[in-house]
Amino acid sequence: MLSYKVNHLKQLEAEAIYVLRETAAQFEHPALLFSGGKDSILMAHLARKAFHPAKLPFPLLHVDTGHNFPETLDYRDRYVQEAGARLIVGLVQDSIDKGRVTEESGANASRNALQTVTLLDAIEEHGFDACLGGGRRDEEKARAKERFFSHRNDFGEWDPKNQRPELWNIFNGRRQHGEHFRVFPLSNWTEMDVWQYIKLEEIELPSLYFAHRRRVLARGNTLLAESEHVEAGEGEEAEEKTVRFRTIGDMTCTGAVESGADNVEKIIQEVAAARQTERGTRADDRRSETAMEDRKKEGYF
Amino acid sequence: MDLLRFTTAGSVDDGKSTLIGRLLYDSKNIFEDQLEAVEVSSRKRGDENVNLALLTDGLRAEREQGITIDVAYRYFATPRRKFIIADTPGHIQYTRNMVTGASTANLAIILVDARKGVIEQTCRHAFIANLLRIQHVVVAVNKMDLVDYNQESYDEIVRSFSDFASRLDNIVEVTFIPISALRGDNVVEKSENMPWFEGPPLLYHLETVYLGSDDNHVDARFPVQWVIRPQSDRFHDFRGYAGRVAGGVFKPGDEVMVLPSGFSSRIRSIETYEGAVEEAFSPLSVAVTLEDEIDISRGDMIVKPNNPPKSGQDIEAMICWFSERKMAPRGKYILRHTTKEVKAIVKEVRYKVNINTLHKIEDDLEFTLNDIGRIALRTSSALFYDSYRRNRNTGSFVLIDEQANETVAAGMIV
Ligand SMILES: Nc1nc2c(ncn2[C@@H]2O[C@H](COP(=O)(O)OP(=O)(O)O)[C@@H](O)[C@H]2O)c(=O)[nH]1
């Protein structure tokens, strides 16, 4: 029987592929949320495995805040080309122009919260009934209870107290018209698992993940990249440092960490020794202790 | 590194959250910012020590009430294993959550308060573990510090639990460990306060317990999830049946039969993204190609003709009721089993179980939230199944309310 042992990465892979295939089978118009971050890249990679040698049976959907790192957009466009995938971009700028949302102002202004509206608009416009997200349960407390198949009501809201029970590997994606699901194939992966798998599979990532020289601003506990969207305020001064990003999102709220890890191997060592959760560098979670839960209820990814 | 999934059950205040917090903390799976947040919350609540239990408290409602509801999943790893904890509340009103957490677990930790001994809830937790076929149970006798690390209290608990557990036939192995979650005795490090205990500490047990027999590698079962048909010139004739092996082992050249059609063929290849492989077994996800062109779609099952599953429309099952709404007499539901969906009608309720005493209830046959019992179902078309005892994948199903789309019951085929 020993030969039938499967290591943890292989088990997680098999599970994620299973969930991706269930999504394709149970929904009419799924989409894969692709941000150019490592989790969404991993998910897209697993999706290619799941349907190989056919192309992805669903499009990639990128909710673009307009404040992306240029490296992310580069990577995205190359990836889409290489995978022969279909890309749909939802622009937060469009939501602002249409008056659907109002832009925050002030030093800590961020478009992060606005993404929710753009995402829900894109879901409605394209009639998506399932959005595959790269969320992991180990990222944040509120996510620990997230289902693989997470039901959203007509308004895109999540009701944490009234979730469908999920047993074994039987997923219930039945829905009424207008409702949709968020599906999280990476639910059981930890940050360490993700990195180990990226190494094992030699998955290419945007250069932002690796140590590089960059001008950054220290704000609160985070280092933000200086850019046209993040400018030094009073008493602040940008400094050049060797940094890398542990998550990739909107430039206005994704913090860098000082690090010399310039390859996956070194990142794994760093993660093993890490003293801060990945989200510890994200300004948007720090607004209140239950910030994530509040945003999720409104339909955040 | 392999993977162990375990569930924890305990009554309120038995120290479950503290134990999990301790496991995460002592195995260095807690980050500085998480710890800081917990320190701040502890101070706000006026707790004397840093309250490790807060590390695992997820949602706002729980923080307010100070109890765990729902199922929360936690992760940690040691150099030996990766662990997934399904953390569930223990009170009877959360039976369905315990059942959910138990459904994917290889091992259950049942917490007992050393001062209280084996109580009704302990038996209920053991019953659920057994029902869901968790083969390994750890009885963690907690709060040993409050009984002066006294061996007699522990021995008494071992005796009365063993007595009760002898009636639970799915549990293969019960391990008892006296601990103090609060002080850390026998959690990660062996306790110096209990020299009389010769076994290893809890974490060591979790790292080393043998898991070989949890997957079925005997009865070949391949429920088809999705048919891969690339619309490209290069793979013009490719037809791959994608799925996750639910039991047994498949190899190229194997003679197979497709259900429900009954057509037979041979496996031409087992495909993955990395290329063709020599074998596939549970729980791997692959795509199978066959020698012959047969009409196969989602919900069909590929098996071996010399060892087919049971098939039929009359199903006997143990179920746990999950919904606030009662089961309707002769109620019609959607039944989801492997990748197949059929309609089902409840033909008869055989009995319910009083899960505290394990007695059968035969005079009140109405299923309400958290009830467990045995029913007879008839399905609109044949299912291909095994008993849950033999195979968790092909022996389990859920019932779904047709109007509300809500999952109303979990079933284990007898
Ligand atoms: N003395 C002592 N107290 C404990 C122990 N484990 C937990 N407690 C305390 O028991 C109370 C309930 O613990 P908690 O972990 O919240 O219980 P839960 O409701 O099962 O999650 C808390 O005040 C803990 O500090 C232990 O081993 N010894």
- Same-domain pairing of B146 and B19: yes
A162 — contact with chain B (CB < 8 Å)?
Answer: no
A213 — contact with chain B (CB < 8 Å)?
Answer: no
* Nearest CA, atom 23, ligand 1: B13
Stated pTM of the model: 0.90
Beta-carbon pairs below 8 A across chains A and B: 178
For chain A, where do the domains classified as CATH 3.40.50.620 start and end?
2-193+290-298
Of A162 and B361, more confident: B361
Tell me if B383 is assigned to some domain. yes
- Same-domain pairing of B79 and B189: yes
- Same-domain pairing of B69 and B172: yes
Q: Among partner residues B31, B334, B410, which is closest to A280 by beta-carbon distance? A: B31
- Domain final residue pick, B173, B208, B243: B208
Q: Among partner residues B238, B281, B405, which is closest to A176 by beta-carbon distance? A: B405
- Same-domain pairing of B382 and B401: yes
- Same-domain pairing of B143 and B268: no
Domain CATH code at residue B384: 2.40.30.10
Q: Which of B1-10, B73-82, B208-217, B321-330 comes out lowest in average pLDDT? A: B208-217
Q: Which of A67-81, B132-146, B243-257 comes out lowest in average pLDDT? A: A67-81
Q: Which of A123-127, A170-174, B254-258, B313-317 comes out lowest in average pLDDT? A: A123-127
DSSP state of A23: H
B338 lines ligand 1 (CB under 6 A): no
CATH topology for the A2-193+290-298 domain: Rossmann fold (3.40.50)
Tell me if B213 is assigned to some domain. no
- Domain final residue pick, B303, B321, B356: B303
- Same-domain pairing of B16 and B71: yes
Q: In this predicted structure, what is the pLDDT of residue A224?
A: 85
| Domain enclosing residue B92, as ranges | 3-208
pLDDT band (50, 70, 90) for residue B39:
low
Mean pLDDT of the region B79-94: 85
Q: In chain B, how many domains are there? A: 3
Q: In this predicted structure, what is the pLDDT of residue B69?
A: 59
Residues of B in contact with A137 (CB under 8 A): 73-75
User: B70-84: string of b/e by CB count within 10 Å (b at 16+)?
Assistant: bbbbbbbbbeebbbb
Tell me if B263 is assigned to some domain. yes
Q: A1: nearest CA in chain B?
A: B212
A153 — contact with chain B (CB < 8 Å)?
Answer: no
Distance in Å from the first CA to the final CA of chain A: 41
Tell me if B215 is assigned to some domain. no
Q: In this predicted structure, what is the pLDDT of residue B355?
A: 83
- Same-domain pairing of B77 and B128: yes
What is residue A29's three-state secondary structure? coil
Is residue A242 within 8 A of residue A259, CB to CB? The reply is: yes
CA B235 to centroid of chain Cα atoms:
39
* Nearest CA, atom 26, ligand 1: B143
Domain CATH code at residue B121: 3.40.50.300
Q: Would you list the DSSP string of B340-375?
A: EEEEEEEEEEEEEEETTTTEEE-S-----TT-EEEE
Work out the mean pLDDT of chain B and round it to a whole number.
89
Alpha helices in B134-183 (DSSP H): 151-165
B59 has pLDDT over 60? no
pLDDT band (50, 70, 90) for residue B356:
confident
- Domain final residue pick, B257, B273, B303: B303
Of B261 and B51, more confident: B261
Q: % helix / strand / coil in chain B, to the nearest 5? A: 20, 35, 45
pLDDT band (50, 70, 90) for residue B48:
low
CA-based nearest distance B244→chain A, Å:
6
- Same-domain pairing of B61 and B116: yes
Tens-place pLDDT, residues B376-393: 999 999 999 999 999 999
Residues of A in contact with B45 (CB under 8 A): none
Mean pLDDT of the region B37-54: 66
CA-based nearest distance A247→chain B, Å:
16
- What would you report as the CA-atom Rg of chain A, rounded to the nearest whole angstrom? 19
Q: Give the integer Cα–Cα distance in Å for B189 and B182.
A: 13
Residues of A in contact with B2 (CB under 8 A): 5-8
Tell me if B214 is assigned to some domain. no
- From chain A residues 42-81, the ones with a CB under 8 A of any chain B CB are 48-55
CA angle B139, B142, B144 (to 5 degrees): 125
Q: Which of B15-29, B165-179, B222-236 comes out lowest in average pLDDT? A: B15-29
Q: A191: nearest CA in chain B?
A: B75
Q: A291: nearest CA in chain B?
A: B60
- Same-domain pairing of B49 and B154: yes
Mean pLDDT of the region B273-279: 95
Tell me if B171 is assigned to some domain. yes
Rounded to the nearest 10°, the torsion over CA B354, B360, B363, B364 is 30
Cβ distance of B74 and A163 shorter than 8 Å: no
- Same-domain pairing of B28 and B138: yes
CA-based nearest distance B102→chain A, Å:
8
Of A113 and B234, more confident: B234
Q: Give the integer Cα–Cα distance in Å for A27 and A182.
A: 11
Is residue B347 within 8 A of residue B337, CB to CB? The reply is: no
Distance in Å from the first CA to the final CA of chain B: 34
pLDDT band (50, 70, 90) for residue B344:
very high
- Same-domain pairing of B317 and B191: no
Spell out, as residue ranges, where chain A has pLDDT lower than 70. 1-3, 105-112, 141, 160-161, 274-301
Alpha helices in A28-168 (DSSP H): 38-51, 70-83, 92-97, 115-126
Q: Give the integer Cα–Cα distance in Å for B302 and B247.
A: 11
Q: In this predicted structure, what is the pLDDT of residue A228?
A: 76
What is residue A222's three-state secondary structure? strand
